[in-house]
Amino acid sequence: MTSPETQPRPLRRYLIIWIGQVASLLGSRMTQFALTIWLWQQTEQATPITLLAFASEVSLLVVTPFAGIWVDSWNRKRIMMLGDAVAAIASVAILVLLLTRQLAIWHLYPILAIASVFGYLQGLAFSASQAMLVPKQQYVRIGALGSIKTFGAGVIAPALAGLLYPLIGLSGILGVDLVSFGVAISTLSLVAIPQPKQPKPSDSALPKSFWHEVLVGFRYLWLRPGLLALQLFTMAYVFFDSASAVVGPMILARSGNDTALLGSVSAAVGLGGLIGGVLLGLWGGPMRRLHGLLVGRGLVFGFEAFLGLAKLPSVWIGANFLAGLFKPLANSCENAIWLSKVDPHLQGRVFSASSFLIGLTSPLGLLMAGPLADRVFEPALQPDGILANWLGGIFGTGTGSGMALQFTLCSLIVVAICFSSYGFAPLRDIETVLPDHQEG
């Protein structure tokens, strides 16, 4: 007879938390979409939009080295509730400034930077709790649920925001966002989130310094070539993905500022991801999760390249749908590898170390994306630009064409990185060489 200790831990608690996070993400995505439209209407430039993402990313560099210690030591449920509360306060601040006609572009950068820090802590606490909430054989499946959450919101949020923005404006969408945070905090209050068991120190063990604890996650990665290779792979595709963060301005520029069309294109990736997440949840994922990661990621960016290559809205929608269809496979398999290879009591510190390293590359790409679009690629594909004769037949000329070239180039580089990674043994063999942690 199976003892209670060895029975699979139910998904009930995870699903309650998941429902609240779906609501929160839906509101946040609507606000992000509305802010993109608002910024474009104010400036008609890509740089302010990419700088908004940059401000959110670069602020994380201040806390990521220490976040893992907090998450591994503090009450994870309270951290998650605090993250939702601060995000709600940020939305209130923007709403008050907007209603009093005081909102300026520069206000958004510090407000969203602070919200990003607490949102990161909330997400890290949830990620590090997953191994305590569900058994190991469910890791890919909860990754699928995570994809359903992310891409379900990706379907509804852009479509709703694109349709509602002309009717209720930014202020109305911020109000919806505040309601969603209330739902998230309420669901968190209903469940208990277990804390990991810390190993007992030996009698001869000396107290560890603060900086020793900060470096634990980095040492963990450095001493495991497979995880280090996975980290480098992630940093590479994140950098080029960030450097191509001009898809919103590109669609608006090439469609005559059609916000409903931008909502449809954005919703298409969400619909694809939602369907892909459901299918992955039913399937359970491939035996070799690395194949799901590398092939899935390559297909995602391969289809995304058509957003830049094509000029027809129907192709944009179709390409984004197909890209979204494979995102849950790539994301869930990558998440499952991390969860299975890192000891649960160290996951906060290791995941924060990983986030810090990614944080060194993502802001750099975002910082480059806007200026590259506005000062290099866009001028090069104007009717009299230096690339107009060579590439104008493929990407067209005029506003948006240079951003299309930039987006396509970065996407194809990521495809090459994905499939060439099979030649890198530490990453290729990570599942066979590096053992899984023991559940307990």
Total tally of structural domains belonging to the chain: 1
Are the C-beta atoms of 126 and 22 separated by less than 8 Å?
no
All residues at 6 or more sequence positions from 405 whose CB lies less than 8 Å from its CB, including other chains: 308, 377, 380, 381, 387, 391, 395
Q: What is the pLDDT of residue 419?
A: 93
Assess if residue 206 is contained within a domain. no
* Residues 379-429: tens digit of each pLDDT: 999 999 999 999 999 999 998 999 999 999 999 999 999 999 999 999 999
Taking the model in full, what pTM does it have?
0.68
Taking 70 as the pLDDT cut, the residues of the chain under it are 1-10, 131, 135-137, 154, 195-211, 438-440
Which residue range(s) make up the domain with 282? 9-194+215-433
DSSP letter, residue 376: I
CA distance 252 to 274: 24
- Assess if residue 364 is contained within a domain: yes
At residue 404, the pLDDT reads 95
CB 228 within 8 A of CB 221: yes
The distance in angstroms from the start CA to the end CA of the chain is 19
3's tokens: 């003892």
The reported pLDDT for the residue numbered 13 is 78
pLDDT for 196: 64
What's the confidence (pLDDT) of residue 201?
55
pLDDT number for residue 285? 81
How many C-beta atoms lie closer than 10 Å to residue 109's C-beta? 17
Phi/psi of residue 246, each to 5°? Answer: -130, 15
Look up the CATH number of the domain holding residue 428: 1.20.1250.20
Q: Is residue 100 part of a domain?
A: yes
Q: Tell me if 366 is assigned to some domain.
A: yes
Whether 76 is covered by a domain: the verdict is yes
In a domain? residue 290: yes
Q: Which two tokens stand for residue 373?
A: 């679009």
Q: What is the pLDDT of residues 284-312, one digit of tens each?
A: 788 899 999 999 999 999 999 999 999 89
* CA atoms of 221 and 360, how far apart (whole Å): 16
**Position 85 in a domain:** yes
Does 119 map to a domain? yes
Q: How many residues does the chain have?
A: 440
Neighbours of 395 (CB within 10 A): 25
Q: What per-residue confidence (pLDDT) applies to 439? A: 57
* pLDDT for the residue numbered 198: 60
